[in-house]
C-alpha cells in the first residue's frame, strides 16, 4: 500500500507543482499511519486530484478532455440513511443542473461505505417482456424487496442500498428530481408517437475507484451523454431495446433488407432524433464526431505533458461511422494506470438473496 500511496503522492506533488519538503513530510506521515492502522486517509486535495486522475486514466472514456472539470464531493463522513439519501439526491440535482450537465463524483468511506446495488443511479427496469433487458437482475432485486413498478418500458428503478450493518432497502426518487427527454424527430412525427424517452444523466454506480492503494467501493460518478450511447447501443442493440424495426417504420422505410441500406439510414436518423431532442430540451449531449475531436485535443495536451494516453480501442471508436474519427485509425495501449475505475468482481455483484 505504501508503494502505491507513494507513487500517487509523488505524481500529485509533481503535476501540481507543490512543495517538495511538504511532500516528504506527507509521505512520512502516510508511512506511519499505514504502519499503525494498516491503511491511510486521503486529504481532501488528494481525494479531489485522485478522482480526476482516475477519469483521465479511464481507457474506455472518449470524454477525458474534461477531466479537470470534475466536481468532487467528499462524502466519507456519511453514516446515516438520511444523510446518504440526501447526498445521492444532491448528486443527481447538482449534476443535472437543469440540463446543463456537470461532471460529478460523490465518494463515500473506503472501509465502511453504504453499498449501492444499482448499475447507475438512474436506470430503467427490465421485465421479461418489456423495458431494458440489461436491468433484469436489479429489477428482480427491487421486486424481491417489495418494490412494484408500473410495468412500462421506462419505469425508473428505485435506489437499492445498504448502510453498513443494516439491511438492504429501496428508495423511490421524487419524480421531479429525474430529468428525462422525450424523443422526437422534426421530419418524422411518427417517431414521437412511439413514446421513447431517455434520462438526462448517466451516473455510474457499480465501479470501484482506486487511488494510491485505497479502494473506494462506492463512488458514483457522471459525465454527460454522447448520442451514440443511447441511439446506437441502448435503443438499437438486439439485446437491449432492439428498436430498429419499430423506428424504421416510423421513418417510413418499407424494407429493411440489408442491401437497401435502410438499417443504416434508420440508425443515422435515430441518432439525429436523440441528439436534437436533447438539445431541444436544453440537456447536454455531445455527438460522436465532436467527442472524437475533443479526444484528439486531449491526446495532444497529454503528449505535451509527456504523458502516454492509454485506451481501449473498441470503446473509443464510436459505434456510428467510426472511420470518420481519428481514433479509429490508430491503436492504443490498454494498460491500467493508477488512479482508475475498476469493474467490481463477479462475486460482489450477484443478487444478495440467491
Site residues for ligand ARG per CB under 6 A: 202, 204, 223, 225-226, 229-230, 234
- Which CB sits closer to ligand ARG, 229 or 287? 229
Active-site choice (135, 229, 269, 299): 229
Q: How far apart are CB 45 and ligand ARG at their closest, in Å?
A: 25
| Own/partner long-range contacts of 297-303 (Cβ < 8 Å, ≥24 apart) | 297/65, 298/64, 298/65, 301/65
Catalytic residue among 61, 67, 269, 299: 61
Provide φ and ψ at 241, rounded to 5°: -75, -15
* Distances, alpha carbon 345 to alpha carbons 190, 205, 217, in Å: 43, 14, 11
**Beta carbon nearer to ligand ARG, 234 or 236:** 234
- Residues 199-219 as b or e (16 or more Cβ within 10 Å = b): bbbbbbbbbbbbbbbbebbbb
Nearer to ligand ARG, 241 or 253 (CB): 241
**Could you tell me whether strands 285-286 and 225-226 are parallel, antiparallel, or unpaired per DSSP bridges?**
parallel
Rounded to a whole number of angstroms, the minimum distance from the CB of residue 60 to ligand ARG is 9
3-state secondary structure of 211: strand
What minimum distance in Å lies between the beta carbon of 255 and ligand ARG? Answer: 29
Is 16 part of the annotated catalytic residue set?
no
Is 224 marked active-site? yes
Pick 236 or 262: Cβ nearer ligand ARG: 236
The number of residues in the chain equals: 354
Which of the 8 DSSP states describes residue 323?
Answer: G
Please give, one letter per residue, the 3-state secondary structure of 257-281.
CHHHCHHHHHHHHHHHHHHHHHHHC
| 61 is a catalytic site residue | yes
User: From the CB of 27, what's the least distance to ligand ARG, in Å?
Assistant: 34
Degrees, nearest 5: CA angle 2-104-237: 105
Nearest-approach distance from CB 348 to ligand ARG, in angstroms? 20
Shorter beta-carbon distance to ligand ARG: residue 212 or 318: 318
Which is catalytic among the residues 64, 67, 198, 299?
64
The residues annotated with a catalytic role in the active site are 61, 64, 224, 229
Amino acid at each position: 500500500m505504501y508503494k502505491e500511496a507513494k507513487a500517487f503522492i509523488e505524481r500529485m506533488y509533481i503535476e501540481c507543482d507543490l512543495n517538495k519538503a511538504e511532500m516528504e513530510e506527507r509521505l512520512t506521515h502516510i508511512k506511519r499511519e499505514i504502519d499503525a492502522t494498516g491503511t491511510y486517509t486521503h486529504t481532501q486535495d488528494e481525494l479531489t486530484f485522485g478522482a480526476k486522475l482516475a477519469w483521465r486514466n479511464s481507457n474506455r472514456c472518449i470524454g477525458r478532455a474534461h477531466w479537470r472539470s470534475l466536481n468532487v464531493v467528499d462524502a466519507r463522513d456519511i453514516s446515516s440513511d438520511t444523510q446518504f439519501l440526501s447526498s445521492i439526491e444532491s448528486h443527481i440535482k447538482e449534476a443535472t443542473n437543469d440540463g446543463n450537465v456537470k461532471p460529478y463524483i460523490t465518494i463515500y468511506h473506503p472501509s465502511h461505505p453504504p453499498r449501492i446495488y444499482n448499475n447507475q443511479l438512474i436506470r430503467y427496469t427490465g421485465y421479461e417482456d418489456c423495458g431494458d433487458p440489461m436491468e433484469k437482475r436489479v429489477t428482480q432485486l427491487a421486486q424481491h424487496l417489495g418494490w412494484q413498478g408500473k410495468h412500462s418500458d421506462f419505469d425508473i428503478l428505485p435506489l437499492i442500498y445498504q448502510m453498513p450493518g443494516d439491511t438492504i432497502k429501496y428508495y423511490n426518487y421524487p419524480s421531479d428530481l429525474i430529468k428525462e427527454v422525450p424523443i422526437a424527430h422534426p421530419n418524422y412525427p411518427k417517431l414521437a408517437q412511439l413514446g421513447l424517452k431517455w434520462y438526462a444523466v448517466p451516473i455510474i454506480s457499480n465501479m470501484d475507484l482506486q487511488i494510491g492503494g485505497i479502494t473506494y467501493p462506492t463512488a458514483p460518478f457522471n459525465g454527460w451523454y454522447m448520442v451514440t450511447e443511447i441511439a446506437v447501443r441502448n435503443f438499437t442493440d438486439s439485446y437491449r431495446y432492439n428498436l430498429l424495426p419499430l423506428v424504421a417504420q416510423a421513418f417510413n422505410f418499407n424494407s429493411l433488407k440489408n442491401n437497401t441500406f435502410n438499417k443504416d439510414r434508420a440508425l443515422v436518423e435515430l441518432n439525429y432524433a436523440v441528439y436534437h431532442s436533447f438539445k431541444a430540451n436544453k440537456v447536454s449531449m455531445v455527438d460522436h464526431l465532436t467527442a472524437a475531436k475533443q479526444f484528439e485535443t486531449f491526446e495532444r495536451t497529454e503528449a505535451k505533458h509527456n504523458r502516454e494516453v492509454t485506451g481501449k480501442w473498441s470503446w473509443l471508436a464510436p459505434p456510428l461511422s467510426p472511420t470518420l474519427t481519428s481514433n479509429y485509425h490508430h491503436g492504443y495501449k490498454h494498460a491500467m494506470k493508477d488512479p482508475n475505475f475498476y469493474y467490481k468482481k463477479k462475486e460482489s455483484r450477484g443478487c444478495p438473496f440467491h
